[in-house]
């Protein structure tokens, strides 16, 4: 792979998924290949076995290297979510040296103050989003309101070191759901102002809230499609991969089959007795999906009330991720949030990659592309490029 190739590693509860891409001369992103491996040692953002997780990541990367028919790259980015992240809002206030005049140094001091207000020494900030900047106290003070995403230093350092020992030097670790939301936001039709981006995967629901078009809050919740799979395993006495198959099969069927006495052949290799009534599957899957949507709503509603109530109505929920693609999830989320709900996916990618399961990877790789574009070019560095680079370093966006 040449120097401009980027690897995006999306560490999910179910799978580690890797996208390899390259910036095209016209600035667009071309995908060279994908790779995936079952995740071991990581669940809903909690790393239980860092060596096993490193092995899963290496396996997925080896797959993409084979698929893209290339060797490793200098530009590797890794996305995390769930409990490994802390998401907080904070205010930083400073006294202005000169009344009514806000200097770049004042702005930097205010952002530093906001960071100090939430970060303890065990955490490192990954992203800081400015929500509001205002001059207060009759022009004598300056205040910034930020949303900050940070991660435990031990996790960041442990992963960086172990991956380096396995031949993968990370250029950055990001919050997968956050960079995905920021990428998809630019592609939404109609440019909504007040909306929620929601990536529901196997174990986590990453929710990112926008008010007045600005990212103002987020949460990574421990709810996902695994809950439905577990119920199916119990209810039908099947193993995990069989339950996954049945769940996907059900997702393709029309709810009109309900109350029609329809019996489905849900047999897999090695089973002959799995003839299951549609209504039985409906009861299990729909009640769990409703419960997940209700829990997500309960957790996110206070954020919506705080940030969107003052700015108007919640216009839409944009759903993605494996469990977000289920038609029942779309219906249940729409009902819980009382808002227009639709599925989003990386439409800019070629059809074979444009799946909601790749949205987080797409966000990570787009972040990598942006970073690469803002890097100084060998032999010269423009003043504007240098400024953008500095600003990005300060805000970590
Ligand atoms: N067609 C489908 N119908 C129903 N469920 C699906 C479908 N495709 C994937 N899923 C479910 O989506 C989940 C996997 O989604 P995804 O790959 O986004 O999760 P992940 O990134 O591994 O985990 P997480 O982000 O939650 O840590 C699984 O629960 C899987 O059963
Ligand atoms: Mg995911």
Same structural domain, 73 and 22: yes
Same structural domain, 46 and 99: no
Output phi, psi for 214, to 5 deg.
Answer: -110, 140
The ligand 1 atom at the shortest distance from the C-alpha of residue 248 is: 3
Is position 55 within any domain?
Answer: yes
Output the six-digit token pair for 113: 């103050």
Q: Which residues contact 49 (CB under 8 A, 6 or more apart)?
A: 40, 41, 42
Is position 144 within any domain?
Answer: yes
Cα–Cα–Cα angle for 157, 163, 169, rounded to 5 degrees: 90
pLDDT in tens, 179-198: 999 999 999 988 899 999 99
**Total domains in the fold of the chain:** 3
What span, in angstroms and rounded, lies between the C-alpha atoms of 178 and 46? 18
* Residue whose C-alpha is closest to residue 82's, from 360, 362, 397, 317: 360
Q: Which segments within 96-242 are labelled E, that is strand? A: 123-136, 141-152, 170-175, 195-200, 205-211, 214-221
Distance 14 CA to ligand 1 centre (A): 7
Distance 13 CA to ligand 2 centre (A): 7
pLDDT in tens, 116-143: 877 678 999 999 999 999 998 888 899 9
What span, in angstroms and rounded, lies between the C-alpha atoms of 293 and 290? 5
Per-residue confidence (pLDDT) for residue 178, from 0 to 100 = 98
What span, in angstroms and rounded, lies between the C-alpha atoms of 126 and 96? 28
For the chain, 397 residues long, the average pLDDT of each consecutive 10-residue run is: 79 96 82 95 93 96 84 84 93 88 91 82 92 89 94 94 94 97 94 96 97 96 97 96 96 96 94 95 97 98 90 92 96 97 94 96 95 66 44 50
Same structural domain, 219 and 319: yes
What span, in angstroms and rounded, lies between the C-alpha atoms of 326 and 319? 10
Same structural domain, 225 and 287: yes
Q: Contact at 8 Å (CB) between 180 and 207?
A: no
Per-residue confidence (pLDDT) for residue 270, from 0 to 100 = 85
Distance 357 CA to ligand 2 centre (A): 7
Same structural domain, 298 and 356: no
Which pTM value belongs to this model?
A: 0.92
Q: Contact at 8 Å (CB) between 74 and 171?
A: yes
Give strand pairing partners of 146.
90, 130
Ligand 1 pocket check for 226: Cβ under 6 Å: yes
Domain of 205, in residue numbers: 189-343
Cα 55 to chain centroid distance, Å, stands at 22
**Looking at residue 331, which CATH number applies to its domain?**
3.30.420.40
Distance 195 CA to ligand 2 centre (A): 20
Same structural domain, 101 and 154: no
User: 4 exposed, middle or buried (CB, 10 Å; 0-12, 13-18, 19+)?
Assistant: middle
Per-residue confidence (pLDDT) for residue 139, from 0 to 100 = 82
What span, in angstroms and rounded, lies between the C-alpha atoms of 55 and 18? 14
List b or e across 134-160, with b for residues whose CB sees 16 or more CB atoms inside 10 angstroms. ebeeeeebbbbbbbbbbbbeebbebbb
Same structural domain, 97 and 34: no
Distance 71 CA to ligand 1 centre (A): 29
Minimum CA distance residue for ligand 1 atom 9:
322
Using DSSP's 3-state secondary structure scheme, residue 7 falls into strand
Ligand 1 pocket check for 321: Cβ under 6 Å: yes
Give strand pairing partners of 2.
none
* Rg, the chain, Cα only: 22
Is position 323 within any domain?
Answer: yes
Same structural domain, 236 and 259: yes
Same structural domain, 270 and 319: yes
Is position 388 within any domain?
Answer: yes
Same structural domain, 308 and 262: yes
Is position 302 within any domain?
Answer: yes
CA distance to 89, 252, 388, 393, per residue, from 113 (Å): 12, 51, 22, 16
Same structural domain, 173 and 78: yes
Per-residue confidence (pLDDT) for residue 379, from 0 to 100 = 46
Strands 141-152 and 46-47: unpaired
Output phi, psi for 250, to 5 deg.
Answer: -60, -40
Is position 397 within any domain?
Answer: no
Output the six-digit token pair for 131: 């929500």
Is position 270 within any domain?
Answer: yes
Ligand 1 pocket check for 15: Cβ under 6 Å: yes
Q: Contact at 8 Å (CB) between 126 and 141?
A: no
What span, in angstroms and rounded, lies between the C-alpha atoms of 50 and 56? 10
* Residue whose C-alpha is closest to residue 322's, from 255, 266, 244, 256: 244
Ligand 1 pocket check for 12: Cβ under 6 Å: yes
Same structural domain, 39 and 178: yes
Is position 28 within any domain?
Answer: yes
The ligand 1 atom at the shortest distance from the C-alpha of residue 244 is: 31
């Amino acid at each position: 792979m040449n120097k401009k190739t980027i690897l995006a590693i999306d560490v999910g509860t179910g799978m580690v998924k890797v996208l390899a891409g390259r910036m095209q001369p016209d600035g667009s992103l071309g995908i060279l290949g994908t790779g995936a491996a079952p995740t071991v040692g990581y669940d809903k953002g909690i790393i239980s076995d860092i060596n096993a997780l490193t092995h899963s990541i290496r396996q997925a990367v080896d797959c993409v290297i084979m698929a893209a028919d290339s060797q490793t790259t200098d530009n590797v980015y890794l996305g995390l979510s769930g409990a490994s992240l802390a998401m907080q809002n904070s205010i930083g206030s400073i006294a202005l040296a000169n009344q009514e005049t806000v200097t770049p140094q004042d702005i930097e001091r205010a952002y530093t103050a906001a960071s100090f207000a939430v970060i303890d020494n065990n955490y490192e900030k990954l992203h800081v989003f400015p929500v509001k900047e205002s001059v207060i106290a009759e022009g004598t003070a300056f205040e910034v309101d930020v949303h900050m995403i940070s991660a435990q230093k031990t996790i960041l350092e442990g992963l960086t070191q172990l991956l380096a020992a396995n031949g993968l030097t990370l250029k950055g670790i990001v919050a997968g759901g956050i960079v995905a939301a920021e990428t998809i936001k630019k592609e939404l039709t109609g440019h909504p102002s007040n909306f929620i981006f929601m990536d529901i995967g196997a174990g986590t629901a990453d929710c990112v809230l926008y008010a007045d078009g600005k990212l103002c809050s987020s949460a990574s919740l421990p709810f996902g499609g695994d809950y439905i799979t577990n119920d199916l395993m119990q209810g039908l006495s099947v193993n995990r991969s069989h339950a996954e198959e049945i769940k996907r099969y059900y997702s393709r069927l029309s709810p009109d089959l309900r109350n029609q006495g329809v019996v489905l052949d849900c047999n897999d290799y090695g089973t002959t007795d799995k003839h299951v009534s549609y209504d039985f599957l409906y009861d299990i899957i729909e009640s769990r999906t409703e419960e997940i949507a209700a829990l997500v709503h309960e957790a996110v509603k206070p954020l919506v009330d705080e940030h969107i109530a003052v700015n108007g109505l919640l216009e839409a929920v944009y759903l993605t991720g494996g469990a977000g693609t289920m038609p029942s999830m779309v219906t249940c989320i729409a009902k819980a949030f009382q808002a227009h709900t639709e599925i989003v996916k990386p439409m800019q990618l070629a059809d074979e990659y444009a799946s909601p399961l790749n949205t987080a990877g797409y966000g990570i790789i787009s972040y990598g592309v942006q970073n690469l574009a803002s890097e100084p070019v060998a032999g010269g560095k423009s003043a504007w490029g240098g400024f953008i680079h500095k600003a990005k370093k300060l805000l970590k966006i």
